[in-house]
Amino acid sequence: MSTTLLLIQTLNGLQLGVLLFLIAAGLTLVFGVMDFINLAHGVQYMLGAYFLAAFAAATGSFALGLVLALGAALLCGVVLERLVLRHLYGRDHLDQVLATFGIILFLNEAVRALWGSAPLHVDIPEAMSGAVRLMPGLLYPFYRLVLIGAGLGVALLLYVLVAHTRIGMRVRAGASDAAMVSALGVNVGRLFTLVFGFGAMLAGFAGALAAPILSVEPGMGDNILILAFVVVVIGGIGSVRGAFVAALLVGLVDTLGRSFSTSLMRLAMDSSAAAQAGPALASMLVYVLMALVLAVRPRGLFPARAG
Amino acid sequence: MSLASCAAPPVLQLQGLVKHYGRLRVSDDVWLDVAPGEIHALIGPNGAGKTTLIGQIAGEILSDSGRILLGGVDVTGERPHRRVHRGLARSFQITRLIGGFSALENVALCAQALDGSSFRFLAPVRRDAGLNATAIAALVETGLAERADIPAGRLSHGEKRQLELAMALVASPKLMVLDEPMAGLGKAETQAMIAVLRRLAGQAAILLVEHDMHAVFALADRISVLVEGRIIASGPPDAIRADTAVRAAYLGEEA
Amino acid sequence: MSASARHSLLPLLIGAGFVLVPLITGGDVYAVNLAIRIMCLAIAAIGLDLILGYGRLVSFGHAAFFGAGAYAVGILSTHGFTSAPLLIGAAILAGAALALPIGAVSLRTRGVYFIMITLAFGQMLFFTATSLSAYGGDDGLSLPARATFLGTDPFGSPLSFHYVVLALLALVYLGGRVLVASRFGRVLRAGGEDERRVIAAGFPITAYRLVAFVIAGGIAGLAGGLYAEFTEFVSPAYLSWQRSGEFIVMVVLGGTGSLHGAVLGAAGVVLLEEWLAEFTEHWRLIFGPLLVLAALAGRDGLARLLGRGKP
């Protein structure tokens, strides 16, 4: 395996990690602050991608499309929260699972009914097309670098927001003790709507960023949702910092595992067996990682809740 | 106390127990013995660390240092369910019952834990005559026999406290740790509970955590006073009543 | 009708219904096949109800064990094995054997962690199935032949398939009832209501839950094996997390903690899907909101109407 390939795959891993973080950040706060299991978070990611595709096509501008898509994603999150989810806080997790599962079925199908089952194509914006020479012999698509940069930028913003602002303090307090925050007279209902809408917007942002490089299709949020769950579990529920570390870890392990497992397996067995075992092993890696983390730290790497 | 009970090892020994939460020492070098057959009351103001100490004794909270001995056996690292098998039974400050089970079934569940393996998959447990008889006996002792078939969730508060007691008692424990059994009880119910506990005292030692001072002084053979995680005094009721440190720290009087 | 009458009468009515389907419809292949599909899924739903309904553990990886059973049958069939007891036995074993390590890790956790972890492990097995390139990978695997038993062909005709599956469903249902009412079942049920209390009573609750989890996995494996025989096809879609979600929906809509409810839930979901699909290909646009409404209204609403069972 060449150094160039390793570098490229590391960047690809970072890119997946950044997307995962954007999804997991909202998810982990919703879990932490509201003790709410939101399966419908993955469809927010999908909606972000579709909104971008639609608005970019309608306005002819990627930037404008992105702004409109973010607004629409936020609106969707708030409407969903007000209409359905807020009635399920404090209820049995099973009710939350049932309702959000129903929302997934509905939104996936709605997207299919509106845009059809075929993947949509979104162009990479002109200004960000082409590749950048990172070092001799290493060309990397500029857009993907922008994606990684944007993701890291949002992560930094989120860190400042959560760690250094009044609202962030309330969210953190809520993640460790919601009853206490409520007792202190904070309007928990509004806080929840805010956290939820913001989380939905972040997931939508991830979807919008991913739209030009991944296929935009119904159900695209389903599998990435589960990877985001893995991130949340590894990072520790309610911890944005944990989600960040775990997202990068999962992104790298998954991407590098997929590209190198077969060659690694070849060291131990003949190539046809390796060609079989490699992909199987690669697809299991992040879950094995999760199991290992749980075996050592059942509450994740950075547990937000004490006790 | 008779000579015989002095010769037997204490049913419970706490030796220098410590528990920190961050920088807060919730249990701070706690030493405590409960002798066989004794009612030993543990009192202290709110936040003194009584609930944490019970958690440590029951094994739900692992201690940072120190040792816990049940009947002379070191159980410091043992899991909660193992300690039950060594003769420890507890009740909860806020009643924890299986609301959908009848009173009888709640008690039978506890009896079942000590009656061989529960990895038995065939015989219907409701018709298990042995378990039911044991459970009924415990309900009779706590005065709840007539309510045996009522779902626990529908019992009155006082009856729930009685049921908690029956669930502890049915295990024929060497030591019962009772976390505020009088909490929320009316005057008459408290009197009834005191009578029941006094009758039970012969069967098992009791570590009684209680805020009702009337009940404590009526029942206890010895009293230990926990303040800010430390035992500041331990002795017979009269001595505790007279202890100036206790009066200052706990009863709120000027020394 | 009293609760106990409903509890014994309703299961009998359901059983009689399944017995009569081929007779009433004159052996109509569509109807009988629909009934077979319902019964296969109902078996899996009963397994899930043991842990979800009685143990109150929201396992979101049930389809993985269902799929494991299906793949056990599929893989053994491609290697020329046709003995029905062997194939079905292997299906049960596959489901149970996977449930053991997955349960052992997952049961260390609680609440939303448990949901996410079972979901993640289910997904891991899904991807494992897609990477089984020797056995069809993404595309799945067709069974070369159906299983035989002592020279007979139990799965050969829809009619005999129907009654074989019905017999197994009855067996699993009755076995489940016995289990729930046993000493073991009491500990499992009590743990579902108050875990701390059960530990304080002296039970290592995780061990009981793990056994229940493995039994549920074995039952799901059985169901998956039968389903593979039914469709003569196995694919990764059998292990998808959407299918796990469907199993949960079946158990919940039928009423958690009543095994015949799981059967009714399976029938309800399958029939509703079939019925809605007649109006529109986008039937999920109706089905999804129905689930949301059911959750908002209190998910036991339907169950209360049908008579919620007690062991």
Minimum mean pLDDT among B44-48, B99-103, B148-152, C73-77: which range? Answer: B44-48
Tens of pLDDT, residue by residue over A42-53, are: 999 999 999 999
Contacts of B60 in chain C (CB under 8 A): 196, 199
- Is residue C248 predicted with pLDDT exceeding 50? yes
Residue C110's region, left for phi above 0, alpha for psi from -120 to 50, else beta, is beta
Residue scoring higher pLDDT (C133 or B111) = B111
- Is residue C298 predicted with pLDDT exceeding 80? no
Contact C112 A279 (CB under 8 A): no
Q: What percent of chain C has pLDDT over 70?
A: 94
* Shortest Cα–Cα distance, C28 to chain A (Å): 31
Minimum mean pLDDT among A273-287, C124-138, C179-193: which range? Answer: A273-287
Yes or no: say if A33 and A175 are a contact pair by the CB < 8 Å rule. Answer: yes
Location of structure tokens 């009947």: B71
Closest CA to C232 of C158, C159, C138: C158
- C273 interface with B at CB cutoff 8 Å: no
* Contacts of range A80-87, beta carbons closer than 8 Å, 24 or more positions apart: A80/A40, A80/A196, A80/A200, A81/A192, A81/A193, A81/A196, A81/A197, A82/A193, A84/C292, A84/C296, A85/A36, A85/A38, A85/A196, A86/A189, A86/A192, A86/A193, A87/C296
- Is residue C52 predicted with pLDDT exceeding 90? yes
* Shortest Cα–Cα distance, A221 to chain C (Å): 12
CB-count exposure of residue A136 (10 Å: 0-12, 13-18, 19+): exposed
Tell me what the pLDDT averaged over chain A comes to.
Answer: 87
- Is residue B132 predicted with pLDDT exceeding 80? yes
Q: What percent of chain B has pLDDT over 70?
A: 95
Contacts of C119 in chain A (CB under 8 A): 226, 229
- Is residue A263 predicted with pLDDT exceeding 80? no
Location of structure tokens 């690669």: A282
- C233 interface with A at CB cutoff 8 Å: no
- Is residue A302 predicted with pLDDT exceeding 80? yes
Half-sphere exposure of C219 (CA within 13 A, CB side): 30
Joined tokens for residue C242 = 């959407």
Contact C183 B120 (CB under 8 A): yes
Minimum mean pLDDT among A13-27, A130-144, B158-172: which range? Answer: A130-144
Arithmetic mean of pLDDT, B123-137: 95
Provide the pLDDT for residue C7: 67
CA distance A158 to A146: 18
What lies within 8 Å, CB to CB, of A248 at 6+ separation is A13, A14, A17, A18, A21
pLDDT band at residue C308 under the 50/70/90 scheme: very low
CA distance A36 to A81: 11
Closest CA to C191 of C57, C8, C38: C57
pLDDT band at residue B22 under the 50/70/90 scheme: confident
Provide the pLDDT for residue B255: 40
Chain A interface test: which of C58, C108, C112, C249 (most A C-beta within 10 Å): C112
CA distances C144 to B249, C81, C133, C179, C229, Å, are: 83, 10, 17, 37, 10
Arithmetic mean of pLDDT, C13-30: 92
CA distance A80 to A66: 21
Contacts of A37 in chain C (CB under 8 A): 112, 115-116
Provide the pLDDT for residue A306: 42
For A131, phi then psi, to 5°, come to -125, 160
- Is residue C311 predicted with pLDDT exceeding 60? no
pLDDT band at residue C3 under the 50/70/90 scheme: low
Provide the pLDDT for residue A49: 96
- Is residue C307 predicted with pLDDT exceeding 60? no
Contact A113 C282 (CB under 8 A): yes
Across chain A, the runs of DSSP E, i.e. the strands, are: 131-135, 138-141
Contact A106 C288 (CB under 8 A): yes
Arithmetic mean of pLDDT, A199-224: 92
CA distance B155 to A16: 56
Q: Nearest 5 degrees, angle CA A299-CA A301-CA A306?
A: 50
* DSSP-based three-state secondary structure for A116: coil
Arithmetic mean of pLDDT, A9-16: 93
- Radius of gyration of chain C from its Cα atoms, rounded to whole angstroms: 19
Contact A99 C295 (CB under 8 A): yes
Arithmetic mean of pLDDT, B19-45: 91
Contacts of C123 in chain A (CB under 8 A): 223, 226, 287
Residue B15's beta-bridge partner residues? B67
* DSSP-based three-state secondary structure for A162: helix
Closest to C116 (Cβ–Cβ): which among A88, A222, A233?
A233
What one-character DSSP code corresponds to residue B60?
S
Joined tokens for residue C135 = 């056995």
* Shortest Cα–Cα distance, A229 to chain C (Å): 6
Residue scoring higher pLDDT (A44 or A129) = A44
Q: Where are the alpha helices (DSSP H) in B72-228?
A: 80-85, 103-113, 129-141, 157-169, 187-200, 213-219
Tens of pLDDT, residue by residue over A164-195, are: 888 787 777 766 666 666 666 667 778 888 88
Provide the pLDDT for residue A298: 81
* Shortest Cα–Cα distance, C194 to chain A (Å): 14
C-alpha B49 chain-centroid distance: 15
Contacts of C205 in chain B (CB under 8 A): 81
Q: Where are chain A's structural domains?
A: 3-306
Tens of pLDDT, residue by residue over B153-208, are: 999 999 999 999 999 999 899 999 999 999 889 999 999 999 999 988 888 999 99
Closest to C202 (Cβ–Cβ): which among B84, B101, B123?
B84
pLDDT band at residue C2 under the 50/70/90 scheme: low
Select the CATH number that applies to the domain covering A3-306 from these four: 2.30.30, 1.10.3470, 2.60.40, 1.10.287.
1.10.3470
Closest CA to C44 of C215, C162, C236: C215
For A75, phi then psi, to 5°, come to -60, -45
C-alpha B61 chain-centroid distance: 16
Joined tokens for residue B169 = 């008692």
CA distance B17 to B229: 10
Q: Which residue of C has its CA nearest to A275?
A: C133
Tell me what the pLDDT averaged over chain C comes to.
Answer: 91
Chain C interface test: which of A230, A287, A299, A301 (most C C-beta within 10 Å): A287
Contacts of C183 in chain B (CB under 8 A): 112, 118-121, 123, 125, 128
- Is residue B3 predicted with pLDDT exceeding 50? no
Angle formed by the axes of helices C62-78 and C29-49, nearest 10°: 120
Contact C178 B167 (CB under 8 A): no
Tens of pLDDT, residue by residue over C170-194, are: 999 999 999 999 999 999 999 999 9
Tens of pLDDT, residue by residue over A68-123, are: 999 999 999 999 999 999 888 888 899 999 999 999 999 999 999 999 999 998 88
pLDDT band at residue A307 under the 50/70/90 scheme: very low
The dihedral through the CA atoms of A290, A295, A301, A305 has a sign that is positive
For C165, phi then psi, to 5°, come to -65, -40
Single-letter code of the amino acid located at A144: R
